[in-house]
Copies of this chain bind each other. A is one copy, B any other.
Amino acid sequence: MRTTPERIVVCAGFAHALRLLFGGRVLRGPLAVESYGLAFHRAVLAAASVRTVPLTLDEHGARTTELDGLKGVRAALLTPAHQFPTGGPLHPERRVAAVAWARSGGGLILEDDYDGEFRYDREPVGALQGLDPERVVYLGSTSKSISPALRLGWMVLPEHLLAPVLAAKGEREAWTGVTDQLTLADFIDSGHYDRHLRRMRQRYRDRRDRLVATLAARAPHLTTTGIAAGLHAVLHLPPGTEHAVVKAAARQSIALEGLAGYRHPAAVMPARDGLVIGYATPPDHGYGAALDALCRVLPPA
């Protein structure tokens, strides 16, 4: 990431950032988004009267090459480090295409780096923002790294957006508690935040490894993707089986979501069947039982 402290605006989390950016006079829709993403974010955008236009996803991430063909679209919301929820990083060529599109038409990329702190198997993926800080808004929060109970996030803004976003935020700090900000600053300065991240990275990696090993042993006919980073994996399922598997899991008291709930209503790419498996939440003593229950509800080979 490339920034100076002046370009960083603190907010109450990613959804608050969306509201600041689209709730007033800063940015307008329509907004390009990925064909699979968080319905809550689409709801926040819809509440701000922002129409979203889906980009196709493939094994290289969002097809940012489609941006040139989207009429009236001047901004795109992407998850370049770890596509949410399907899982892969955005391919370098797709990154370049996104930034080239933004540059050519006065466009803007919103980079949602929701879990960039937790990468396991490769070198860290650089922020797309580093390619062009004047064309990319970088959005981070403590939701994954500490807890969503801490309402703290930040935007790294291009120069031309700084004044409008600060105006939208208002002169008074209406949202973000100062004690939380000071506590986080102290947590970072003291080095404890880094130690916390290292410890949690190891812990989540262990859980990820256990999930992958269990699935390889007991469901070798199914593919798991998105495992190089983050707190969730996607287990791909045979077409038409997702709904039944999610229901069967619920009967076993496993709260699982299928990919269907993440699909943009206007997506045109073929639907995928799969489970979004968050592996960070179960308590340690219940993780083995949860994995067992998961394997029992999977479709046979």
Interface residues of A (CB under 8 A from B): 12-13, 15-16, 24, 40, 47, 147-152, 172-180
The complex places the Cα of A15 from the Cα of B169 at a distance, in Å, of: 12
Output the least CB separation between A186 and chain B (Å).
14
- In the assembled complex, which residues on chain B have CB atoms less than 8 Å from the CB atom of A172? 15, 40, 148
Given contact pairs A15-B172, A149-B178, enumerate 8 new A-B contacts (beta carbons under 8 Å). Answer: A12-B175, A15-B174, A16-B174, A148-B173, A150-B178, A152-B177, A177-B177, A179-B180
- In the assembled complex, which residues on chain B have CB atoms less than 8 Å from the CB atom of A151? 173-178
**Assembly stoichiometry (copies):** 2
The complex places the Cα of A172 from the Cα of B15 at a distance, in Å, of: 10
The complex places the Cα of A178 from the Cα of B150 at a distance, in Å, of: 6
Instruction: Decide: A150 and B175 in contact? CB cutoff 8 A.
Output: no
Instruction: Decide: B177 and A149 in contact? CB cutoff 8 A.
Output: yes
- In the assembled complex, which residues on chain B have CB atoms less than 8 Å from the CB atom of A177? 149-152, 177, 180
Give the nearest-CB partner of A14 in chain B: B174
Give the nearest-CB partner of A47 in chain B: B24
Output the least CB separation between A145 and chain B (Å).
15
- In the assembled complex, which residues on chain B have CB atoms less than 8 Å from the CB atom of A12? 12, 174-175
The complex places the Cα of A147 from the Cα of B177 at a distance, in Å, of: 10
Give the nearest-CB partner of A146 in chain B: B179
Instruction: Decide: A150 and B174 in contact? CB cutoff 8 A.
Output: no
